Structure 1
Amino acid sequence: MHHDHDHDLGLAHDLNRLNQQALQRRAALRWLLGAGAAGVAGSGALALAGCGGGGSDASSSSSSGSTGSTGGSSSGGSTGTTSGCSVIPSETEGPYPGDGSNSANGSIANVLALSGVVRSDIRSSIAGATGTATGVPLQVIIELVNTNASCADLSGYAIYLWHCDALGRYSMYSSGVTGENYLRGVQATAADGTATFTTIYPGCYAGRVPHMHFEIYRSTNTATNWNNKLRTSQLCFPSDVNTAVYATSGYGSSAANNNAISLSSDGIFSDGYTTQLCTVTGSVSAGYVATLRVGISA
C-alpha cells in the first residue's frame, strides 16, 4: 500500500506544469526519431503528454487514448493539485520479481544476472530463451527526478521494469512461460533522466488492475540483485485505454477481469495513485506511449 504522499502548492505547481511540458517535448522527439526501431505500426506521429502523477479513473476517448488529468483521488473522488516532484510510493514487488529475491521452479529467479538484460526492447526473451511476447505495442518512458533538488533529472541511474504478458502470465514463473524471461529489462536513465522501454500493453488478470512493476537502482552496475535496489513501486494506466486495448484479440480474459475491478478497489492503488498513473497517448492501431515522472529522494 502507499505512503510518502507529498503535496506542494503555489510555485511548485507552476514548476510542475513547466516540467511536464519539457517532458512532453523530449518524449515526442524521442518517439518520432525511434518509432521505426520500436516496431510500432501506424503512419501518424503520436501526440505525447507528460505525466507527473494525477488523473482520475474516469473514461474519455478510447479511440485516441489521450488521458491523464491533474488532480483526482481514488479514495474520495476529490480534485486538487499534485506536485510533479513527490516521492513515488513504495509498493510490493509481488510474487514474480525475477530479481533474485525468490525462487521459481526450484531455483533462484534472477533475470538481472543474465547477459543482455540491459536493453530497451523487452518484448523478446534473452540468454538462450527464444519466446517473444505479442500484444498492442507500448512505449514506456519513465523520467526519474530528485525530490531533494527541485525535481532535477537523475541521469545514470537504472530502472528495472517487468510486467505480465497479454494473457496475464509472468515469464519465469507462470505455467507455459517458465522457460521465458521476456517483458523484463533494465535501462539506464539518460541525461534528461528518462529511461525508455519498448514493450506491449500488459494484460489484466483477476484481482488486479493493469499495472507494471519497477525497481530503481543507483546504476546498471548495481542492478544485478534486489539487495541493491533503492525503491520498488508500480505504475498504472487510465481506464479508457485499458478498455480500448482489451477490445482487441489476443488478450484472453483481460476485458472481463478489467471490468470487475477499478483503481479505487485495487489492493495496491485504492489508497491513492496520483503519482503512479501514467499519461497514455496513441491508439490501438498506431500503438501507445505511456509517460510517468518518478520522484525519489536522491
Structure 2
Amino acid sequence: MIDRRQLLRSLAIAAPSVLGIGAVGQALAQDARAARLIAANVCQVTPATTQGPFYFDPRLMRGDIRDGRAGYPLALRLQVVDAACRPIQGARVDVWHCDAQGNYSGYPGQQQGDLSGETFLRGAQVTNQAGRAAFRTIWPGWYQGRTAHVHFKVLVGERDLLTGQIFFPDRFSRAVFDQLPDYARDSTRGRIFNDQDGIARRAGQGAYAEVTQVEGGFEAAMVIGLADDRGALLSRS
C-alpha cells in the first residue's frame, strides 16, 4: 500500500488544479478574491439535496469531528453567503458523513454493526463575521450506490434554511480509495463515482468543493450560497 506522502506526490503528477488552467479559471479566482470568498464558485446559489436517512442532531458544537476515526485527513472550510455574495454571520452549519468503510454513526445496521450511540464524523459550527466555519475530519468513504460526499445543513435557530451535500473531484477519491489501507475493501462492487451518482448529477457544479493538497492531507473549500429569500430571512433574525 502507498503511504500518504506518496499519495500526495502521485496526485500532483496526475492532474491539474481544481480551478483549471487558463483565463476562465484565473478570472473566477480573481473574482473570488475580490469578494473575499474562499472558493471560486462565485455567487452561485447552492442546490438543495436530499437529507438522506442518517441524519440526527447530536448538538455537538465542535470543529474536530473525527472522534479517532481512521482516514485520510481533510480540512473542510465552508463559507455561507447570500445571493449577493455577502457573508452571513451567526448561521449554524451542521455536517455529517460516513467513515472510511462507509459507516454512519448513530444508527444500527451499518457494515460494522450497531453504531447507535456513536457520534463520530458529526458536528456543528457557527459562522463567524466572514461567514466561515471549519471542520477537521477525514476523507469520506463510500457505500453501495453513492459517491463520496459530505452532508450539511445551514440553520438559524431551529429553522433549516438549506440542506445539501458536498461532492469532490473523482481523482482525489479514486486515489484515496485505491491506495490507502484505511479505505481498503474485499470487494469494490457497488462503488460508484460522481457521474454515476444521480444526486451528484442533479446537484451540478455548485455542489462541488475545491480540493487542494496541504501538508499531511487535503483541504476542501466551498461557498454555500443561499437563495435571496433564505438569506434575507437569516439577516432579519
TM-score normalized by the length of structure 1: 0.61
Distance 1:90 1:240, change over 3 A: same
CA distance in 1, matches of 2:165, 2:143: 16
Partner amino acid for 1:265? Answer: Q
What SS does structure 1 have at the residue aligned with 2:188? helix
Q: What letter corresponds to residue 248 of structure 1 in structure 2?
A: L
Once the two structures are superposed, residues 55-112 of structure 1 have per-residue CA deviations (whole angstroms, 9 ceiling, x without a partner) of xxxxxxxxxxxxxxxxxxxxxxxxxxxxx1121111111000013xxxxxxxxxxx12
Residue number in structure 2 paired with 1:93 = 51
Tell me the distance in 2 between the aligned counterparts of 1:142 and 1:166.
Answer: 21
Q: Aligned runs of 1:59-70 on 2, under 5 Å?
A: none
* 2:133 corresponds to 1:195: yes
* Structure 1 unaligned regions, length at least 5: 1-12, 27-49, 54-83, 100-110, 125-131
Cα distance in 1, alignment partners of residues 87 and 30 from structure 2:
14
SS across alignment from 1:270: helix
- Structure 1 equivalent of residue 61 of structure 2: 118
Question: Who is 1:141 aligned against?
Answer: 77
Alpha-carbon distance in structure 2 between the residues aligned to 1:254 and 1:191? 46
Q: Does the 8 Å contact 1:163/1:211 carry over to 2?
A: yes
**What's the offset of the Cα at 1:257?**
5.5
Secondary structure, aligned partner of 2:194: coil
In the alignment, structure 1 residue 238 sits paired with structure 2 residue 169: yes
String of CA shifts for 1:263-290, please: whole Å, max 9, x gaps.
222020123421111111116x711100
Letter of the structure 2 residue corresponding to residue 187 of structure 1 = Q
1:20 is displaced (CA, Å) by: 2.4
SS of equivalent residue, structure 1 residue 231:
strand
Structure 2 residue matching 1:143: 3-state secondary structure: strand
Amino acid of the residue matched to residue 250 of structure 1?
D
Aligned equivalents of 1:230, 1:296: Cα separation in 2? 8
**Who is 1:290 aligned against?**
220
Q: Secondary structure at the match of 1:264?
A: helix
Are residue 266 (structure 1) and residue 202 (structure 2) matched? no
Distance 2:220 2:66 in 1: 16
Contact 1:162 1:185 (8 Å CA) reproduced: yes
Aligned-residue sequence identity (percent) comes to 33
* Alpha-carbon distance change, 279 to 267 in structure 1, aligned in 2, over 3 angstroms: same
TM-aligned CA deviation for residue 21 of structure 1: 2.8
Give the drift of 1:166: 0.7
Deviation at 1:206, TM superposition (A): 1.2
Shift in CA distance, 143/289, structure 1 to aligned 2, threshold 3 Å: same
Q: Counterparts of 2:132 and 2:26 in 1: how far apart (Å)? A: 21
The superposition leaves residues 205-255 of structure 1 with CA deviations (integer Å, 9 ceiling, x where unpaired) of 11000001000012xxx25xxxx2111000101111101211100113398
Q: TM-score, normalised by structure 2?
A: 0.76
**Paired amino acid for 2:185:** S
> Considering only aligned residues, what root-mean-square deviation do their CA atoms show, in Å?
2.5
* Corresponding residue pairs, total: 199
